[in-house]
C-alpha cells in the first residue's frame, strides 16, 4: 500500500463507517493520546519500566498503526499530501544533513 492509497482508504473509511472526521483539534488530541500509548509500550519493552498487567496485551505494531491512522486523518483534513511532504522532507534532510551525521563522533 502506498501512502497515497492509505490516505484514500482512511478517507473512504471515515466517510462511510466513521460518518465524518472529528475536528482537527480533537484529532490532534487523539494523536497525542496515541503517541502516549506508543511511548508507554516502548518504555516497557526497551526501557527500564516493568509491564503492568494492562500493558501485556499491547502490541507495538498496533500502537504505531494507531499513530499513523490519526496522522493520516489530520493530513486528509488539512489538505496535506503525505507522499509529497515526505519526499520534500527527504530532500531537506539530504541537503541539510549530508555530512552532519557522518561527522558526529558520538555516532561512531
Distance separating alpha carbons of residues 60 and 55, to the nearest angstrom: 11
Asked whether residue 101 carries a pLDDT value surpassing 90, the answer given is no
Residue 95 reports pLDDT greater than 90: no
pLDDT tens digits, residue range 42-94?
A: 999 999 999 888 888 899 999 999 999 999 999 999 999 999 999 999 999 98
In a domain, 98, yes or no: no
Which domain CATH number covers 13? 1.10.287.1080
- If you write DSSP's letter for every residue of 69-91 in order, what string do you get? HHHHHHHHHHT--HHHHHHHHHH
Domain membership of residue 21 (yes or no) is yes
* Cα(106)–Cα(102) distance, integer angstroms: 10
Domain tally for the chain? 1
Least Cα distance to 51 among 38, 66, 40, 37 occurs for: 40
CA angle 62, 89, 2 (to 5 degrees): 45
* pLDDT at residue 104 is higher than 90: no
**Residue-number span of the structural domain to which 31 is assigned:** 3-82
Amino acid at each position: 500500500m502506498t501512502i497515497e492509497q492509505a490516505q484514500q482508504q482512511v478517507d473512504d473509511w471515515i466517510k462511510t463507517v466513521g460518518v465524518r472526521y472529528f475536528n482537527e483539534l480533537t484529532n490532534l488530541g487523539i494523536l497525542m493520546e496515541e503517541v502516549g500509548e506508543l511511548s508507554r509500550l516502548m518504555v516497557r519493552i526497551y526501557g527500564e519500566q516493568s509491564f503492568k498487567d494492562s500493558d501485556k496485551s499491547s502490541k507495538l505494531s498496533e500502537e504505531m498503526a494507531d499513530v499513523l491512522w490519526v496522522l493520516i486523518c489530520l493530513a486528509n483534513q488539512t489538505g496535506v499530501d503525505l507522499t509529497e511532504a515526505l519526499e520534500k522532507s527527504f530532500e531537506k534532510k539530504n541537503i541539510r544533513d549530508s555530512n552532519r551525521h557522518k561527522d558526529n563522533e558520538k555516532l561512531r
